[in-house]
A and B are shown apart, each in its own frame.
Chain A
Amino acid sequence: MAEIKLNNLTKRWGDFVGVDDQSLHIKDREFLVLLGPSGCGKTTTMRMIAGLEDPTAGEIWIGDRMVNDDLPKDRDVAMVFQNYGLYPHMTIFENIAYPLRVRGVDKSEVKPRVEKAAEQVELTQFLDRKPKALSGGQRQRVALARAIVRTPKVFLMDEPLSNLDAKLRVTMRAELKHLSRELQITTVYVTHDQIEAMTLADRVAVMKHGVIQQLGTPDEIYNDPANLFVAGFIGSPAMNLINGSVRNGMFVTTGGTQLVKLDAADRAKAILGVRADDMQVHDAGQGDIDVTIYAFENTGESTLLTVQWGKQRVIARGDRHLRKDQDEVVGISLDPDHLYLFDPETEDRIRI
């Protein structure tokens, strides 16, 4: 068990910057998720921690040791890969036992430890099979068992659930969370799926273009996004971002509709952010503004109304019993306590 410190870490390939001078302190036993779209540098960051990629500049510390020049095998980390990275010519038992065997663990000790790891991921009955004979979810469990068989200092997980189908992903997510609480080992988890990030993480680092945009608890990044990118990336459906301006304490849309009272200084250009859940749907004439329904979707647990708002479309979440139809007019009101204002030029949050 150990903390991880990244000091001014940079990775460049020629002119391309993968990770740009980033520092990050991951606490002992913390579950940290690196979240971002593809190409944001999250996987590169993890691969540098694992030793599979050499940093261009900066330091990597695991515990009290700088590991920059250590080979992957000497860093005492375990990694779960997106494509599982199993050894197809070995049985499941041999796969799980490999980290022990190659490190020269005593033979009498290997068997009980492999069996215990297999039990933790419910694989006991498959130990004699080859990976080819297992399903995707089972293969991912083998990869997990191989990682936990050896109590490493750090777990690294590179999009471990993204190759599974949607239903299995939810089950495996819960299993992962359970396992990580049980094992209490510092974990770095890479994903582009914000739900995985929200549900699994102690803290989330949202990345874009090799730069950490915001580091915080899932609560913080959801309810208090630092900038336009984080606001738009977290949440499903994504936060509505409405172009307009602030005039005399009111937010006015680009189309000229006075929308909502805002305690902010006047500015010619601003973006108002509001989540679908922070909008109420009323009958026509009863909300802050009347809008036409562009599309009505019933997801079962709630309803989603895409409404035409001047030239922009906005998504509001309605009650699950609400029934409306396309082209109907409804009233919408915004929750004044959960509005976010952004500067469209710098993309920074304007605190209100």
Chain B
Amino acid sequence: MTGRQRKQFWRAVHAALILVAMFVMLVPIVWIFLAAFKTHVDVYQLKLFFTPTLENFGIVFDDPYRLGQKLFNSTIVALVTVVIAIPIATLAAYSFSRFSMRGETMMLVIILATQFVPAVVIILPFFVMFRDIGLLDTRVGLILVNLAIVMPFAIWMIKGFIDGIPMDTEEAAMVDGSSRLQVIRNIVLPMAAPGLLTSGIFCFIIAWNEFLFALILTNKEAVTLPIGLALFKGEEGDLWNLLSAAGIIIMAPMFVLALMIRKYFVQGMTMGAVR
């Protein structure tokens, strides 16, 4: 092979590998998209061409499935989690980034270590505690659990962004006449805004997709969308068309958010989580 042919060959291999990866990742999603618009009859056939119907989306919001209530629960739980988590995580991250405390590294490691504990291990104590104080099957309970899940992540990620703000800038603001809180409000927050937005969206995605805790800690009132999917396993077998329609409702906000933070995604991953 000449140099040019070799180059073309490797370019083809490159393209083929990307296609395979895309295929592996996208096929389930494409399948769900198709199934959501198919009738109960069509759903078991791998047809690419069929008469699309919107009736599945109607059914899932009706009795007995009432997906609307679950959608509401999911939205409230995820939103409130983010609204509480980000300000607290920002203050914590600022402190970790700018002040030296005794045992600072230890604290950071412990915060990170909580992420390594398998959820299944701590779910029982959560269940017992929540039962005793009456938080079982409540949105408040779910918000608390989600906060525990996203906070360590948010602190580490936001700390990465704040570390990236030059100390000079903050010191200049202090000499210019700002108190510490004014420095945070006037300098740090605006400069870290893209990072805070990214972290917020990441947290929202985590809370939105959370499954295990919601499964164990809710049963009727506070059920969220991912748990709602289980409803479609009926006596007549799995209702794949309904399941797919609900799946799309779960995924849609994720796609929108992913588009929004595309620009910061890599930055967020490398700045916050990895460093």
A interface residue numbers (CB < 8 A to B) = 50-52, 71-73, 75, 77-79, 81-89, 98-99, 102-103, 143, 146, 156
**Which chain A residues lie closer than 8 Å to B186 at the CB level?**
87, 98, 102
> Is there contact, CB below 8 Å, between A82 and B168?
yes
- How many angstroms between the C-alpha atoms of A81 and B187 in the bound complex? 16
- Give the contact stretch, choosing among B52-60, B144-152, B170-178, B262-270: B170-178
* Min C-beta distance of A39 to chain B, whole Å: 18
In the complex, residue of chain A having the shortest beta-carbon distance to the beta carbon of B168 = A85
Chain B hits for A79, CB < 8 A: 171-172, 175
- Closest chain B CB from A4 CB (angstroms): 15
The answer to whether A98 touches B173, judged by C-beta atoms less than 8 angstroms apart, is yes
B169 beta carbon closer than 8 Å to chain A = yes
CA–CA, A71 to B182, complex, Å?
Answer: 13
The residue of chain A having its C-beta at the shortest distance from the C-beta of B189 within the complex is: A89
A81 to B178: give the CA distance in the assembly, Å.
16
* B172, A73: Cβ atoms closer than 8 Å: no
- Given the known interface contacts A87-B187, A89-B190, A89-B191, the answer about A102 and B168 at a Cβ–Cβ threshold of 8 Å is no
Q: Does B166 contact A (CB under 8 A)?
A: yes
A85 to B166, CA, bound (A): 8
A254 to B143, CA, bound (A): 82
CB-based contact B190/A50 at 8 Å: no
| Inter-chain contact B173/A87, CB cutoff 8 Å | yes
Q: Is the CB of A78 within 8 A of B175?
A: yes
Is B219 located at the chain interface by the 8 A CB criterion? no
CA distance A52 to B173 in the complex (A): 11
Select one of B169, B174, B175, B182 contacting A87, CB under 8 A: B169
CB within 8 Å of A: which of B118-174? 166, 168-169, 171-174
Asked whether B179 is an interface residue with its Cβ less than 8 Å from the other chain, the reply is yes
Whether A77 lies near B175 (C-beta < 8 A) is: yes
Q: Are A72 and B174 interface neighbours, CB within 8 A? A: yes
Checking A73, A75, A86 against B169 with a beta-carbon cut-off of 8 angstroms, the contacting residue is A86
Complex CA distance for A82 and B172, rounded to whole angstroms: 11
| Chain B interface extent, by class | 10 to 19
Say which residue of B166, B175, B177, B187 sits within 8 Å of A50 (CB atoms): B175
Query: Which 10 A-B pairs have CB atoms at the shortest separation, nearest pair first?
Result: A85-B172, A85-B168, A99-B176, A72-B174, A79-B175, A89-B190, A73-B177, A103-B177, A81-B168, A102-B177
Q: Which residues of B contact A81 (CB under 8 A)?
A: 168, 171-172
Identify the closest chain A residue to B182 (Cβ): A102
Chain B residues whose CB sits within 8 angstroms of the CB of A99 once the complex forms: 176-177
A104 nearest CB across to chain B (Å): 9
Shortest Cβ gap from B181 to chain A (Å): 11
Question: What B residues does A83 contact at CB under 8 A?
Answer: 166, 168
Least distance between B62 CB and chain A CB atoms (Å):
49
Question: Closest residue to B186 on the A side, CB-wise?
Answer: A102
Measured between alpha carbons, how far is A98 from B178 in the docked complex, in Å?
9
Instruction: Say whether, besides A89-B190, A98-B173, A73 and B166 are in contact (CB < 8 Å).
Output: no
| Cβ–Cβ contact A73 & B190, under 8 A | no
Q: Once bound together, how far apart are the Cα atoms of A98 and B183, in whole Å?
A: 11
Complex alpha-carbon distance, A84 and B171, angstroms: 11
Residues from chain A with Cβ under 8 Å of B166 in the complex: 83, 85
One of B175, B187, B190 near A72 (C-beta < 8 A): B175
A-B pairs with beta carbons under 8 Å apart, 25 shown: A51-B174, A51-B175, A52-B171, A52-B175, A72-B175, A73-B175, A73-B177, A73-B178, A73-B179, A77-B175, A81-B171, A83-B166, A85-B166, A85-B172, A86-B172, A87-B172, A87-B187, A88-B169, A88-B191, A89-B190, A102-B173, A102-B177, A102-B178, A102-B186, A146-B172
Question: Which residues of chain B are near A72, meaning CB under 8 Å?
Answer: 171, 174-175
Residues of chain B contacted by A156 (CB below 8 angstroms): 175
Contacts of A98 in B (CB 8 A): 173, 176, 186
Distance, CA A84 to CA B173, complexed state (A)? 12
Contacts of B182 in A (CB 8 A): 102
Interface residues of B in 168-216 (CB under 8 A from A): 168-169, 171-179, 182, 186-187, 190-191
A71, B176: Cα distance in complex, Å: 11
Chain B nearest CB from A82 CB (Å) reads: 7
Closest chain A residue, CB of each to CB of B174:
A72
Complex Cα–Cα for A51 and B177 (A)? 12
How far is the CB of B219 from the nearest CB of chain A, in Å?
A: 48
Most buried by A among B166, B172, B182, B191: B172
Q: How far is the CA of A272 from the CA of B172 in the complex (A)?
A: 45
CA distance A81 to B182 in the complex (A): 20
The answer on a CB contact under 8 Å between B179 and A71 is: yes
